[in-house]
A = this chain, B = another copy of it.
Amino acid sequence: MFSVKGSIWIESNKGAFIGMGRVILLEKIEEHGSITVAAKSMKMSYRQAWELVNSMNKQSKQPLVIASSGGAGGGGTKVTKEGKKIIDLFKSMNERFHKFNEEESKKLKI
């Protein structure tokens, strides 16, 4: 009847770096190749999405998202190798956190 819930995120000395919301945004950018379309799919303004991307890029040594304009492929926005690494890193950690919560839920004596 009782269960343990929670959320985790990664911070740097400049503030929030990444959490589940930002991971989903990165995945949507990867899927659509566009911050505009990714933002719309999450019912978020372009400005808000851009600020989250900018915040992540500024905190990381290498950018997580790069915008390429023009060229034969018509440009588009991409999640970098570093960005994909961060997505995987966060999701693995979040899975361990869910296991922590499940184990704590089993232990609860209320």
| Interface flag for A5 (CB, 8 Å) | yes
Do A3 and B7 form a contact, CB below 8 Å, given A89-B110, A110-B60? no
| Interface flag for A24 (CB, 8 Å) | no
Query: Chain A binding site: helix, strand, loop or mixed by DSSP?
Result: mixed
**A10 x B2 contact (CB < 8 A):** yes
**A2 x B7 contact (CB < 8 A):** no
Interface size on A, residues (CB 8 A): 26
| Interface flag for A23 (CB, 8 Å) | no
A interface residues, Cβ below 8 angstroms from B: 1-13, 17, 60, 86, 89, 93, 96-97, 100-101, 104, 108-110
Do A5 and B11 form a contact, CB below 8 Å, given A108-B89, A110-B60? yes
